[in-house]
Structure 1
Amino acid sequence: MKLNYYQIDAFTDKIFGGNPAKVVPLNEWLEDELLQNIAKENSVDATAFFIYNSGDDIELRWFTPDLELDLCGHATIATAHVLTTILDYNKDKIVFNTKSGQLYVHVENDMYVMDLPQRNPVKVELPNFIKASLNKQPKEVLKSRDYILVYETEQDVRNIKIDKSIFDKENIDPGGVVITSKGNNSDFVSRFFIPQATIFEDPVTGSAHASLIPYWGNVLNKKEMSAIQLSARKGKLLCTNKKNRVLIAGKAKTFSEGTLWIE
């Protein structure tokens, strides 16, 4: 079996930045075990598989090297980029059917604008294994899918160190841990870590912003915000807080395309 693939860097305007995703078009769904093995072999943060046969909607799923995700922002942006710049998809709005319901993407001013369901975080206690792994404790802890650890300054976020041997003692399936604060050159910044994951720190995590946007929107009393994820690759996101949804906009660049040979 021969499958085409495209590797896209999302939430960046240049290759080697943002978050890489592989995008694989399918004619029909393959077995979950095979999809997972392909994602593991690809060794990027996420592999997006999609089916578009007829009609307006596109079936979309995302796999990390370790598991299937319920929501993945950067691989959704990457899929939209493949559809519109490589596969000649010409509708004004892309509708994706996913495990998190319908997601929407449209192109505006050379940016992909993604419409996701809002995930409001609530205050919780920090689990002991996360607390013990941190070199500095947060001022506030919240949770939706992910734990959200709020710090005073961007420098705190940049300097955070996590003892992986302690951090990996438990899993947070399917979520992770977000470190965030107000930004120096943006409204807010973040970093994202996943216990027991093949890729420990995610470069740019669109899905986490479904929670970060309503949180910072309330704190800053702003509807439109800019965000930077402070990974080594860095990513830039333009964010809009709506009533029950969030808009996340970013750019994307094609890095490579090729063929997967599955015997």
Structure 2
Amino acid sequence: MSKVYKYKKIDAFTAGKSLGNPAACLYLSLGQELTEEEMLEVAKQHKGYVSEMVYCKKDPDTIHLTYYSSECEVDFCGHGTIACTYSLIKDTPDLLAQKEIQIQTNRKGNLVVYNRILEQDAVLITAPVPNYLGTELTKEKIAETLDTTVDAIDGELPVDLVDAGLRTLIVPMRDLANEVSLFPDRKKLETFCIENGIDIILIFSSEVAKTDHIAHTRVFAPKFGYLEDPATGSGNSAFGYYMLKYQLWDGGDCCLEQGGNDRVFNDIYLSSIDGAVLFGGSATVRTDGVYYV
């Protein structure tokens, strides 16, 4: 006999008509359980629909989250956490009244969700402690790999490698037009990342489409089977630490826009507490119903 679970498909980091980054969320009631095999099977059924499944169980003391891709359990999923907790908090009056909410992840321990739904229509999460790795990669090599020119890369700001959950190569671009129109070859980019110990590449421009944003970013993730991530938690967290390091940001509340010229840009909120970067955003529920396992 099938078991029935509350189910939502939610896009994280949405802004207006932007599409965000999708995650599917299964909400388990008290007494409901899923085995590891069942969670993996449900995630496999979502291959090509969302990149990660989030399994959420709320008990009286905390919110438990477990994450699966179509291949295996994953340690942490930033956009999935934003999607799942935004919807849960917004729909639960006792949570909506709380400013800080403890969550427990299956592999990364306890985290804090900062509820800013009423003020900013957003939730934020503390990013991992950064590791500033540095890089000897030249702008010439990076330009060749990105299928652009050296002149398109900003000559005043440095390239850097920062790990705030993922090893992120951060590349400053000279202007917005060059940044949003860049479309590198996925296989060439994947080889470059593997050879240089890079998880993702974030390019950014200080020139923006919306004047209330402080930067425009794009994130390439060929190691994970696709060229570009539409909205990213870990990559923009690394970028937040980059901006703090090079005094491009004072750590106050701000907003980034992310995406190429073929889409409506998504919004990623950044803030900081005692030097720790927070990342977050809004979310939009696209599907709301039940799922049979």
- Counterpart residue identity of residue 257, structure 2: I
What is the one-letter code of the residue matched to 2:251?
K
In the alignment, which residue of structure 2 is the partner of 1:178? 202
Given that 2:255 and 2:267 are in contact with CA atoms closer than 8 Å, whether structure 1 keeps it comes out as yes
Deviation digits for residues 29-52 of structure 1, max 9, x if unmatched? 521x54334234222133211222
SS of the equivalent of 1:260 reads strand
The one-letter amino acid of 2:265's match is: K
Unaligned runs of 5+ residues in structure 1 are: none
Taking the aligned partners of 2:94 and 2:69, their CA distance within structure 1 comes to 26
Quote the Cα distance in structure 2 between the aligned partners of 1:174 and 1:4. 37
1:247 to 278, 286, 291: 278
Name the CA shift for 1:196/1:40 in 2 (closer, same or farther; >3 Å): farther
Distance, in Å, in 2 between the alignment partners of 1:198 and 1:89 is 40
The residue number in structure 1 matching 2:77 is 72
**How many residues are paired up?**
260
Distance 1:39 1:171 in 2: 26
Cα distance in structure 2, aligned partners of 1:133 and 1:212: 20
Of 141, 147, 150 in structure 2, the residue corresponding to residue 135 of structure 1 is 147
1:149 corresponds to which of 153, 162, 170: 170
Amino acid of the structure 2 residue aligned with 1:251: S
Decide which structure has greater strand share. 1
Q: Where does residue 101 of structure 1 map in the other structure?
A: 109
TM-score with structure 1 setting the length: 0.83
Alpha-carbon distance between aligned partners in 2 of 1:115 and 1:76, rounded to the nearest angstrom: 11
Select which of 202, 207, 225 maps to 2:234.
Answer: 207
Structure 1 residues 32-90: Cα deviation after superposition (integer angstroms, max 9, x where no partner):
x54334234222133211222332x2221223345544332221111112212335552
Q: SS of 2:183's equivalent? A: coil
Unpaired runs of 5+ residues, structure 2, are: none
Kindly indicate whether the alpha-carbon contact (under 8 Å) linking 1:130 and 1:167 is maintained by their aligned counterparts in 2: no
1:153-232 matches, within 5 Å, as 153-169=175-191, 175-184=199-208, 185=211, 186-219=213-246, 220-224=248-252, 225-231=254-260, 232=263
1:62 aligned onto 2:67: yes
Q: Which residue of 2 aligns with 1:51?
A: 57
Secondary structure of the corresponding residue to residue 117 of structure 1: coil
**Partner letter of residue 47 of structure 1?**
M
What residue in structure 2 maps to residue 117 of structure 1? 128
Amino acid corresponding to residue 277 of structure 2 in structure 1: V
Amino acid of the residue matched to residue 175 of structure 2?
T
Give identity over the alignment, percent: 24
Q: Secondary structure at the match of 2:224?
A: coil
Distance, in Å, in 2 between the alignment partners of 1:29 and 1:89 is 26
TM-score of the aligned structures, taking structure 2 as reference length:
0.75
